[in-house]
Structure 1
């Protein structure tokens, strides 16, 4: 049985400026799964950089806080309980409009790979 706890997860700031903890990834746990799952945090007044995954679908599941999601030319307010579908190749970024940290899960299928992500101009 594999159980991974956020309490024991190592957070780092990644290339898009999100603070992230990789919860489950097949390359790290040596498991077979068709996705990767990470926990992300954006502090109040901060935003991720516009970026895209060229080959992977990404889903954000909002846990805490309030923000605004931008995908290509569209934007919408997001809150806990919202699931956001991000198609491959879409320019996307999220910003925290609230007074508390914005926390969400990032599910990426196929699993996230560094060479698939790029920062947009």
Structure 2
């Protein structure tokens, strides 16, 4: 049985400015499980935003656990909140601003799995 726990996994600031814990990544786990996606647990702290960025070849899904944010994908922007999933197509410029009174917390699922060479920060 494989169990991964955010309580024992490190969080760090990543390129897009979120506070992120890479919970499950096929290239970093000690098993031959056959999955294509990676899974991260992330926070955008109160009053903060991620930086505009894109994944060239991977689709990303944000599942909002708590908080509220303004999600930007290319030219579109929508308020999102707990219980919602946002699909971010490959090649789309995206960022999210925390518009709530608390930290914005979400899961980020990337398929195929995230890798640094696929991500571009737009400045």
Please state how far the C-alpha of 1:32 moved relative to its aligned partner.
2.1
Aligned residue number for residue 96 of structure 2: 94
1:35-50 to 2 correspondences below 5 Å = 35-50=37-52
1:108 pairs with 2:77: no
Query: Please, which runs of 5 or more residues in structure 1 have no aligned partner?
Result: none
Aligned residue number for residue 66 of structure 1: 68
1:4 pairs with 2:4: yes
Aligned residue number for residue 83 of structure 1: 85
Q: Measure, in 1, the Cα distance between the counterparts of 2:83 and 2:75.
A: 23
Query: Please, which runs of 5 or more residues in structure 2 have no aligned partner?
Result: none
Q: How does the TM-score come out when normalised to structure 1?
A: 0.97
Please state how far the C-alpha of 1:99 moved relative to its aligned partner.
1.3
CA RMSD of aligned residues (A): 0.7
**Structure 1 segments of 4 or more deviating over 6 A?**
none
Q: Measure, in 2, the Cα distance between the counterparts of 1:42 and 1:32.
A: 30
- Partner of 2:22, secondary structure, is strand
Q: Measure, in 2, the Cα distance between the counterparts of 1:29 and 1:106.
A: 17
Q: Measure, in 2, the Cα distance between the counterparts of 1:64 and 1:28.
A: 27
- Partner of 1:115, secondary structure, is helix
